[in-house]
Amino acid sequence: MPLEFEKPILELEKRIAELRETARTTGVDLEAEIRLLEDRLARLKEEVYGSLNAWQRVQLARAPGRPTTLDVLEKAFQDFLELHGDRAFADDPAIVGGLAYLEGQKVVVVGHQKGRDTKENLHRNFGMPHPEGYRKAMRLMDLADRFGYPFLSFIDTPGAYPGVSAEERGQAWVIAQSIQRMSRLKVPAIALILGEGGSGGALAIGVANRVLIMENAWYSVISPESCAAILWRDAKEAPKAAEALKLTARDLLAQKVVDAIVPEPEGGAHKDPDQAIRNIKEALLKTLEELKGLSPEELYRDRYRRFRTLGAYAES
Partner 1 sequence: MALERLFRRKRPSGENRDVPELWTKCEACGAQLYKKEFRENLYVCPKCGHHHRVPASERVEMLADAGTFQEITGLRPLDPLGFVDTKPYAERLRAYQEETGRKDAILGGTCTIGGVPAVLLVMDYAFAGGSMGSVVGEEIARGAERAAAEGRALVIVAASGGARMQEAALSLMQMAKTVMSLDRLWEKRLPYVSILTDPTTGGVTASFAALADVIFAEPGALIGFAGPRVIRQTIRQELPEGFQRSEFLLKHGMVDRVTDRRKLKGELVRALRHLHPGVPYAVGV
The radius of gyration of the chain from alpha carbons, rounded to an integer in Å, stands at 21
Check: CB of residue 156 under 8 Å from CB of residue 112. Answer: yes
Q: Give min distance, CB of 164 to partner 1, in A.
A: 6
Hey, what amino acid is at 181? Answer: R
Total residues contacting partner 1 by CB under 8 A comes to 56
Considering only 58, 61, 160, 214, the residue that binds partner 1 (CB under 8 A) is: 160
If one asks whether residue 231 binds partner 1 (CB under 8 A), the answer comes out as yes
Would you give the binding string for partner 1 spanning residues 240-279, x where CB under 8 A is met?
xx--xxxx----x--x-x----------------------
Kindly give, in sequence order, each residue whose CB lies less than 8 Å from that of residue 34, ignoring residues fewer than 6 positions away: 16, 19, 20, 23
- Nearest of 244, 266, 246, 220 to residue 60 by alpha carbon: 266
Angle between helices 131-147 and 171-183 (to 10 degrees): 20
Q: C-alpha distances in angstroms, 85 versus 124, 136, 149, 232, 313?
A: 14, 6, 20, 40, 42
Q: Which residues 161-180 are close enough to bind partner 1 by CB under 8 A?
A: 161-164, 166-173, 175-177, 179-180
If one asks whether residue 308 binds partner 1 (CB under 8 A), the answer comes out as yes
* Cα of 28 vs its chain's centroid, Å: 47
Region near partner 1 per CB under 8 A, out of 33-41, 236-244, 263-271, 290-298: 236-244
The DSSP secondary-structure symbol of 51 reads T
Region near partner 1 per CB under 8 A, out of 53-61, 202-210, 268-276, 282-290: 202-210
Considering only 113, 220, 279, 287, the residue that binds partner 1 (CB under 8 A) is: 220
The site for partner 1 (CB under 8 A) is made up of: 160-164, 166-173, 175-177, 179-180, 183-184, 199-200, 203, 206-207, 219-222, 226-227, 229-233, 240-241, 244-247, 252, 255, 257, 303-304, 307-308, 310-316
